Amino acid sequence: MRRFLPAVLLLLSITFQLVAQRIEPAFWWVGMKDTRLQLLIHAPAIAEAQPKLGYAGVKVAKVTKVKSPNYLFIDLIVSPATKPGTFPIQFLKNGKSVLTYQYELKEREANSAQRQGYTAADAMYMITPDRFANGNPANDNMPGMIEPASRTGIDTRHGGDIQGIVDHLDYISNMGFTALWINPLIENNMTRTYHGYAATDFYRIDPRFGSNDDYRNLSKAAQKRGIKLVVDMIMNHCGSGHWWMSDLPTDDWLNYQEKPEITNHARETNQDPHASDYDKKLHANGWFVPTMPDLNQRNPLLATYLIQNTIWWIEYADLHGIRMDTYPYPDKDFMAEWSRRVLDEYPKFSMVGEEWSMNPAIIAFWQKGKKNRNGYVSYMPNMFDFPLNNALVEALNGDDKIYNQGLPKLYQTMALDFLYENPYNLVVFPDNHDMSRFYTQIHEKFDLWKMGIVYTLTTRGIPQIYYGTEVLMTNPKSDRHDEIRGEMPGGWPDHTASVFTGKGLTASQLEAKNFMKQLLRWRRQTPVVQTGQLRHFAAGDGIYVYFRYNASQKVMVVMNKNNDAKTLDTAKYAELLSGHKTARNVQTEQTQVLSQPLVVPARSAVIWEVK
């Protein structure tokens, strides 16, 4: 038997070499501020092997075995002096190498740590990639992907992809947008997951969208046009089809791992001083839906995995921002550490959290710098301003002749800015991918749409516009997500209308597109409306007036919801207009003498640059 032993060992070695295995992250970078690096290795019986490596500046700090014998976690220290290069990691069993992986430490791009995130100087365009444009029909159906493309079913894939976005970057830039938020592009190899929020591989772009290289190239192409790329991430859950679901590393990799329970969605338990332990646990640990297992970020191995995955994508794809899905659902202490670690590595980076609450106090709890009474410290710099989004729709739809309805909703909501540590860092928006289209919410009234767009692009904060809003996209049949996320006109060859060329658009759609384009371009070159202070005057009688101002510029915005033109006495606004003689109407470019009354057309929002 002894003479056959070398052949058996050779066969065993070849077997280990050939079986599917994962090492995540597959590569890393030298020169990171945090010198720690955790590798997840997944291969049959890999826990029986001992890792061995030799590379100057890299040492093994710890090797962790878990319940599943098919995992091994290796903690490395990569010293600041380590040079970029490739080195073998060998896995030895009985002194023999059964697996070898060539690991690479790459060199970081210049000034990577100081990358500038999006700010209030930017305007963000949001895309659901499957529904935006099909630039490469060849990837509509890919080997190994469960769901084929079908544009006729409900919640199916339509074929939009990364190439479709690249093809229209000039359109996005010419409109005046300077940041691009794309719904998740990572692999979702399940049915009815075109939306991207059920990850089955955290390190792979879904091949129906393109490749990892395609995503990186998209980022580079966007930057050449002055557009910052914002990635959509999920820390709370993965998809039930994730590769690790058939072989979970530990008994606590998921919450309610043995017997799943659905969350109660009681997000207020994070702040509620009276909340029961039962409700707090069910909210944080319950699964979002049955097909989205809830990740246990209290497991230190998983916590490190998620943080490193975030940093890997920032570095690899040269990203400038993150939109974090379902922000209040994961373990809140982990989310604080996650955001702290990201900002520690990239001090100027930008992140925005989704907390769908209409209560500003709930939103404010999560913003960096907020001194919370329960002692919770957050590091999330930006949050979505859902209260203001709701107030905008109510203000436009409400009857201004009824007390506290109509435009006073905007005034009252803005007055609550004292709750926020930095209200100017909130992301403001008329709609997004999870709610009815803005034009639908205001009952397809074009004049109200214009007022809403003016408000979104001139109030404090970072404006975000959902694709198709510029051409009055609607969802008249239902508020089903599949209808809300309709195909962008012109994104498929069989479309009779195109937002990109203007062909086939109605007169109102063309006017809307040009209206938004003019405002976005003006905003892009007007610092005061990006970063200036805001002062407003109590709304009433269908009129709301506010100013954006700094030491050198002032902009005055008047919203008039009345069915007739209104004349304003400028004396009321003397505290900001005193000493100024004229103002230029941004939309019409006409000059207004400020010693004379201001005439505001019916159902309109007028912007004046005060001279």
Domains in the chain with CATH codes: 2-107 (2.60.40.10), 117-529 (3.20.20.80), 533-610 (2.60.40.1180)
Would you state the structure tokens that stand for residue 191, as one six-digit string? 């049915």
Query: How sure is the predictor about 9, in pLDDT bands with cuts at 50, 70 and 90?
Result: very low
Phi-psi region of 418 (alpha: psi -120 to 50; beta: other; left: phi over 0): alpha
CB 45 within 8 A of CB 71: no
The CA distance from 163 to 221, in Å, is 11
Catalytic residues: 325, 354
**Distance between terminal CA atoms of the chain?**
96
Cα-based distances in Å from 360 to 105, 176, 355: 44, 29, 10
Residue 533 pairs with which residues in a beta bridge?
549
How many other CB atoms are there within 10 angstroms of residue 86's CB atom?
11
Query: How sure is the predictor about 17, in pLDDT bands with cuts at 50, 70 and 90?
Result: very low
The CA distance from 223 to 230, in Å, is 12
The CA distance from 229 to 214, in Å, is 13
Please tell me the predicted confidence (pLDDT) of residue 19. 44
pLDDT above 90: residue 15: no
pLDDT above 70: residue 16: no
The mean pLDDT value for 456-482 works out to 97
The CA distance from 304 to 34, in Å, is 12
CB 68 within 8 A of CB 247: yes
The CA distance from 215 to 207, in Å, is 11
Task: Give the pLDDT confidence of 80-118 residue by residue, as tens digits.
Answer: 999 999 999 999 999 999 999 999 999 999 999 999 999
CB 525 within 8 A of CB 552: no
Please tell me the predicted confidence (pLDDT) of residue 389. 98
Phi-psi region of 196 (alpha: psi -120 to 50; beta: other; left: phi over 0): left
* Half-sphere exposure (Cβ direction) of 232: Cα atoms closer than 13 Å: 24
Query: How sure is the predictor about 3, in pLDDT bands with cuts at 50, 70 and 90?
Result: very low
pLDDT above 60: residue 11: no
Would you state the structure tokens that stand for residue 326, as one six-digit string? 């379902």
The CA distance from 151 to 411, in Å, is 43
The mean pLDDT value for 546-575 works out to 97
Residue 29 pairs with which residues in a beta bridge?
106
What residues contact residue 569 under an 8 Å CB cut-off, 6+ apart?
Answer: 597
The CA distance from 543 to 55, in Å, is 69
The mean pLDDT value for 265-287 works out to 98
Query: How sure is the predictor about 469, in pLDDT bands with cuts at 50, 70 and 90?
Result: very high
**Which letter does DSSP use for residue 74 in this model?**
E
pLDDT above 80: residue 203: yes
The CA distance from 317 to 306, in Å, is 16
Question: In terms of Cα–Cα distance, which of 102, 107, 108 is closest to 23?
Answer: 102
How many other CB atoms are there within 10 angstroms of residue 144's CB atom?
7
Please tell me the predicted confidence (pLDDT) of residue 21. 85
Please tell me the predicted confidence (pLDDT) of residue 5. 32
What residues contact residue 602 under an 8 Å CB cut-off, 6+ apart?
Answer: 560, 562, 563, 564, 565, 566
N residues, the chain: 611
The CA distance from 464 to 395, in Å, is 19
Task: Give the pLDDT confidence of 425-444 residue by residue, as tens digits.
Answer: 999 999 999 999 999 999 99
Task: Give the pLDDT confidence of 307-348 residue by residue, as tens digits.
Answer: 999 999 999 999 999 999 999 999 999 999 999 999 999 999
CB 553 within 8 A of CB 530: no
Would you state the structure tokens that stand for residue 1, as one six-digit string? 């038997």
Phi-psi region of 472 (alpha: psi -120 to 50; beta: other; left: phi over 0): left
What residues contact residue 588 under an 8 Å CB cut-off, 6+ apart?
Answer: none
CB 350 within 8 A of CB 324: no
